[in-house]
Amino acid sequence: MPLPPVLRRRLGLVGASLLLCSVAVPLLLATVVLESAQPDTYIAGDGVPQRVAVPEGRAMMVWLDNTVTDSVCAVEDADGNPVELDEVADAPRQSAGSAGDWVGTFTFEVAEDSASVSCQGVGQPATGALVTPAPGFLSGMFGVAALLAVALVLAISGLACMARAGARQHSLIG
């Protein structure tokens, strides 16, 4: 049964809107994810505490240089209370160029918007650590795959709507 012209036009508009959303929604999601990211905070290995901003509700990760095994880091909350460091089982890595890799070794959580981190490193100068938000749901390759999947579903839905709107019922008159 053919669609009335009004419904075909509306279905065509829905399809065009979905195609537009297949570009806009992943871009918006990527922008939100990138805006919530904060730059890495380098903690010198001199043992001096440094204040680190903690995004609300996010676990933080302490990254240690993979060439140094003797670095020791400590974290305190805003009141000066020690914060437990949880060891990461399947440690992620970030490239540090020719110097080696940073290994996500510990995570911690605090209720406040900041924490004090100190590291006692080895070597000259003493090797420190990086502190970043722990990788989350839309991080790395999984995040890219999720954004591409959203775009693909919206694009296919839009094309299907536009194809249905453009399809005409032909009858064979013999």
| Structure confidence by residue, pLDDT tens digits, 19-75 | 888 888 878 777 766 655 556 788 888 889 999 988 877 889 898 887 776 678 999
Nearest Cα neighbor of 115 from 73, 65, 69, 87 is 73
Residue 174 falls inside a structural domain: no
pLDDT interval class at 115 (50, 70, 90): very high
Find the domain containing 11 and state its range.
5-35+148-166
Angle at 59 between CA 58 and CA 60, to 5 degrees: 115
Asked if 57 and 124 sit in the same domain, the reply is yes
Higher-confidence residue of 99 and 105: namely 105
Q: Would you say 167 and 8 are in contact if contact means Cβ atoms under 8 Å apart?
A: no
Residue 55 falls inside a structural domain: yes
How much is the average pLDDT of 137-153? 72
Average pLDDT, the chain: 80
User: What are the φ/ψ torsions at residue 85 (nearest 5 degrees)?
Assistant: -95, 125
Residue 110 falls inside a structural domain: yes
Bridge partners of 107, per DSSP, are 61, 86
Asked if 60 and 134 sit in the same domain, the reply is yes
CATH number at residue 95: 2.60.120
For 73-103, how does the pLDDT look when each residue is reduced to its tens digit (9 = 90+)? Answer: 999 998 999 999 998 888 787 776 656 688 8
Asked if 92 and 54 sit in the same domain, the reply is yes
Q: What is the pLDDT of residue 168?
A: 61
Q: What is the pLDDT of residue 69?
A: 65
Please give the tally of structural domains in the chain. Answer: 2
Asked if 131 and 73 sit in the same domain, the reply is yes
The amino acid present at 150, given as its one-letter code, is V
